[in-house]
Structures are given as C-alpha cells and as structure tokens.
Amino acid sequence: MEKEVNVQLKDGLHAKKAADFVAKSSQYASDVFIIKGSLRVNAKSLLGLTSAAIRKGQTVTLQSEGKDEEEALRDLGQFLSGVDE
C-alpha cells in the first residue's frame, strides 16, 4: 500500500523528529519505506531518514507492506502531517 503525504513538521524530518519517526515506524510489523523522488529509504532506519533530507512542504510517499500496513500508513501519515505536534 502507498500513501502520499505533504510533510508539515516545523523543521522537517531530521534530528529528534527523525528519531521519533523511526521509533514509531518500528512499532509496526509491516515493512515501511519513505519515497522521495527516486530515493527509497527504510522508515525504520535513522541513517536512511536523515540522508533523505525531508523538509517541511515536501511531498513524500509512504509505502508499507505487512499485516498492519493500513494502520502504519494512517499513523505515520498523521505524524508527517504534523498532527502530533
């Protein structure tokens, strides 16, 4: 499954927010990836996320596959949208 999300986190997805996102992604059994342009990174990898340099206002695609994929996409999409801030 895939879901496009416009990132609305104040400082984008780096440092503390990236670590929070990795922790949240790791709660799901499903494989979760973030796609930015031609770059596809494991959402459970802090190094991968920080190397993607995802900023506020950018649109990324969340991709998930597994038994809890729908829940993962919903919750992680809300996180990136800034709902939890």
Catalytic residues: 14
Inter-residue long-range contacts of 34-40, CB under 8 Å, 24+ positions, other chains counted: 34/60, 34/61, 34/62, 34/63, 35/60, 35/61, 35/62, 35/63, 36/60, 36/61
DSSP one-letter string for 1-23? -EEEEE---TT-B-HHHHHHHHH
